């Protein structure tokens, strides 16, 4: 029996970790999770749990802190295998393996590679011959780059192991549960890793996969969730599947939150969402300028579609969460102003505004490097702060002020007429405080008296480890 400890930074359920944990437990292994950004806490937890493997899921920017944690764990417990996974690992495996603290990187789906590794730790298999894993062999100074395995049939996976978070009462006791019901996306948005991921998975089986409706409903019933949060935004592209799933959800008496593209919606779908108990739809707007959707972002949206469907959501009592990007290559300050104006016009209940974050393997990141807006080794410096522009921007100070004022302006649209003047004023610290306060107002509004959501924002900002060092 092998013991696997996962370390994550954000204070919410990670669907990927819960699935890996479920597969490991199904085959007799032990798992645990620590939520922290502290290397010292990670070292103490490893000393008490004595894991064989420590897994680090990470995105670009987050990986830097994870490397610090992994380095401390390796120094204190050199026998531990440090395994990195996630989107950053999938495209930056070689760079991660250059770090002395990293032993292995998972570059594909993680459930069965992690199981094979745990089995190998028990003597049932060869550690450096596991599909999807890239393995460093220090004694030979080499890296074994294993082939990718066939993609999983999602219905064959066990249900997510929500017991993984049993020691985190605010997560485990929260009635809102996160569900993953599909994998793969047919789109090729320039800011997203999906296009490169599709190329990576070519020949490995069906890329776009959905769990059967029956399988999804069975897990929801088993979970006891009062609020079902489906994070997969592309399941709506399969209209027949989406309508069948929504019809099945209708009789469960739950609240529903989903992610979707604006162009997946129409009145029939929105009515079906309403009847299924949907209270919130999360749509990526990215920009409020149609020209940029087509020419830069590779999203084939239209103003008409976005405005119409946002209005239909309002008519049917469904709240709109809208995420946007500022400061991406090809955008001008005036375009960013129009994005704020579009958020106001749509009546976004929960707007999110962040600066362009360069992810490896995306067309927009490649464009930024080609145009001299971003250094090729950006990943060594980029962090998790979406309030800071990482590429070179004209009128950078005004951009930063606009970002800090954006949510306030959406909340109080009467100030939009003054926005052009306000971003010229050197009141950065005041605007920063206003941005923090406005964001918390939105979190309180979104919480709907849910204690977990009320404190999730400060938990993630302060990186509190409520589990302690037991």
Residues 135, 194, single domain; the answer is no
What pLDDT shows up at residue 336?
98
Q: Are residues 131 and 183 in the same domain?
A: no
* Inter-CA distances, 53 with 31, 121, 134, 269, 467, Å: 10, 9, 15, 44, 20
- CATH code assigned at 235: 3.20.20.70
**Between 235 and 135, the higher pLDDT residue:** 135
- pLDDT, tens digit, for every residue of 61-80? 999 999 999 999 999 999 99
CB 69 within 8 A of CB 43: no
pLDDT at 453: 55
Of the listed ranges 16-30, 183-197, 410-424, the one predicted with least confidence: 183-197
Strands 278-286, 319-326: pairing kind: parallel
User: What is the number of domains present in the chain?
Assistant: 2
The per-residue pLDDT of the chain, averaged, comes to 93
CA torsion through residues 70, 173, 218, 237, sign = negative
Does 152 reside within a domain? no
User: Would you state the pLDDT for residue 469?
Assistant: 45
Are 62 and 384 within 8 A, CB to CB? yes
CA-to-CA separations, 58 to 7, 8, 30, 86, 431, in angstroms, rounded? 10, 8, 21, 5, 30
248 and 386 fall within a common domain = yes
Is 462 within a domain?
no
Q: Mark out the alpha helices in 224-353 (DSSP H runs).
A: 239-249, 267-275, 290-292, 303-315, 333-346
Residue 466 pLDDT > 50, yes or no?
no
Mean pLDDT of 120-133: 91
179's CB contacts (< 8 A; 6+ apart) are: 15, 160, 216, 219, 220, 223, 225, 228, 229, 230, 231
132 and 214 part of one domain? no
- Per the structure block, which two tokens stand in for 310? 């946002």
Q: Which domain holds residue 18?
A: 3-145
Residue 163 lies in a domain: no
Pairing of strands 209-210, 182-183: antiparallel
- Asked if residue 362 belongs to a domain, the reply is yes
Residue 169 covered by a domain: no
The CA distance from 336 to 394, in Å, is: 12
Q: With the CA atoms of 103, 106, 107 and 109 taken in that order, what torsion angle do they form, in degrees rounded to the nearest 10?
A: 180
Q: Are residues 287 and 379 in the same domain?
A: yes
Q: Which of 80-84, 118-122, 433-437, 464-468 has the lowest mean pLDDT?
A: 464-468
CA–CA separation, 5 vs 116, rounded Å?
16
Is the pLDDT score of 389 beyond 50?
A: yes
**Are 55 and 183 within one domain?**
no
Indicate if the pLDDT at residue 410 is higher than 90: yes
Residue 215's Cβ-side half-sphere holds a number of Cα atoms within 13 Å equal to 16
Q: What is the DSSP string of 27-45?
A: TT-EEEEEE-S-HHHHHHH
In a domain, 42, yes or no: yes
Asked if the model's pLDDT at residue 457 lies above 80, the reply is no
Are 322 and 283 contacting, i.e. CB atoms less than 8 angstroms apart?
yes
> pLDDT for 157-196, tens place per residue?
999 999 999 999 989 999 999 999 999 999 999 999 888 8
Looking at the fold, whether 219 and 129 belong to one and the same domain comes out as no
pLDDT of residue 470: 43
Question: Residue 436 above 80 pLDDT?
Answer: yes
323 found inside a domain: yes
At 246 the pLDDT is 97
Q: What is the pLDDT of residue 440?
A: 85
CATH of the domain at 86: 3.40.50.280
pTM of the model: 0.93
Interval 200-211: pLDDT, tens: 999 999 999 999
* pLDDT for res 458: 59
Per-residue pLDDT, 448: 64
Clarify whether residues 182 and 139 are in a common domain: no
In a domain, 68, yes or no: yes
pLDDT digits (tens, 9 = 90+) for 238-287: 999 999 999 999 989 999 999 999 999 999 999 999 999 999 999 999 99
């Amino acid at each position: 029996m092998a013991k696997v400890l996962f370390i994550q930074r954000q204070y919410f359920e990670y669907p990927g970790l819960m699935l890996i944990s479920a597969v490991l437990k199904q085959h007799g292994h032990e798992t645990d999770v620590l939520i922290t950004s502290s290397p010292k806490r990670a070292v103490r937890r490893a000393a008490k749990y004595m894991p064989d493997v420590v897994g680090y899921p990470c995105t670009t920017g987050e990986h830097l802190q994870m490397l610090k944690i992994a380095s401390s764990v390796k120094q204190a417990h050199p026998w531990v295998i440090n395994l990195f996974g996630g989107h950053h690992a999938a495209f930056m495996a070689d760079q991660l393996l250059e770090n002395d603290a990293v032993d292995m990187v998972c570059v594909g789906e993680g459930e069965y590679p992690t199981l094979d590794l745990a089995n190998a730790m028990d003597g049932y298999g060869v550690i450096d011959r596991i599909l999807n894993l890239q393995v460093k062999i220090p004694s030979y100074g080499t890296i074994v780059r294993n082939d990718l395995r066939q993609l999983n049939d999602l219905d064959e996976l066990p249900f997510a192991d929500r017991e993984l978070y049993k020691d985190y009462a605010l997560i485990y006791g929260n009635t809102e549960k996160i569900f993953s019901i599909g994998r793969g996306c047919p789109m090729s948005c320039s800011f997203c890793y999906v296009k490169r991921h599709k190329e990576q998975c070519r020949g490995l089986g069906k890329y776009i996969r959905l769990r059967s409706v029956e399988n999804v409903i069975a897990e929801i019933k088993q979970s006891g969730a009062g609020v079902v949060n489906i994070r997969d935004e592309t399941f709506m592209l399969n209209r027949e599947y989406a309508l069948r799933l929504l019809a099945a959800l209708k009789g469960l008496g739950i609240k529903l939150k989903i992610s979707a593209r604006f162009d997946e919606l129409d009145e029939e779908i929105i009515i079906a969402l309403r009847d299924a108990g949907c209270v919130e739809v999360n749509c990526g707007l990215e920009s409020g300028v149609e020209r940029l959707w087509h020419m830069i972002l590779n999203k084939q949206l239209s103003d008409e579609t976005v405005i119409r469907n946002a209005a239909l959501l309002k008519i049917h009592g469904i709240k709109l969460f809208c995420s946007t990007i500022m400061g991406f290559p090809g955008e001008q300050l005036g375009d960013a102003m129009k994005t704020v104006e579009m958020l106001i016009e749509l009546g976004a209940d929960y707007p999110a505004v962040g600066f362009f974050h360069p992810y490896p393997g995306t067309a927009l990141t490649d464009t930024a490097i080609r145009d001299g807006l971003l250094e090729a080794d950006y990943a060594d410096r980029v962090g998790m702060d979406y309030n800071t522009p990482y590429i070179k921007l004209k009128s950078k100070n005004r951009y930063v002020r606009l970002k800090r004022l954006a949510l306030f302006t959406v909340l109080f649209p009467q100030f939009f007429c003054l926005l052009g003047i306000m971003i010229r004023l050197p009141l950065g610290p005041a605007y920063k405080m206003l941005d923090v306060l406005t964001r918390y107002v939105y979190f309180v509004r979104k919480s709907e008296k849910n204690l977990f959501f009320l404190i999730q924002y400060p938990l993630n900002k302060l990186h509190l480890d409520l589990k302690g060092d037991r």
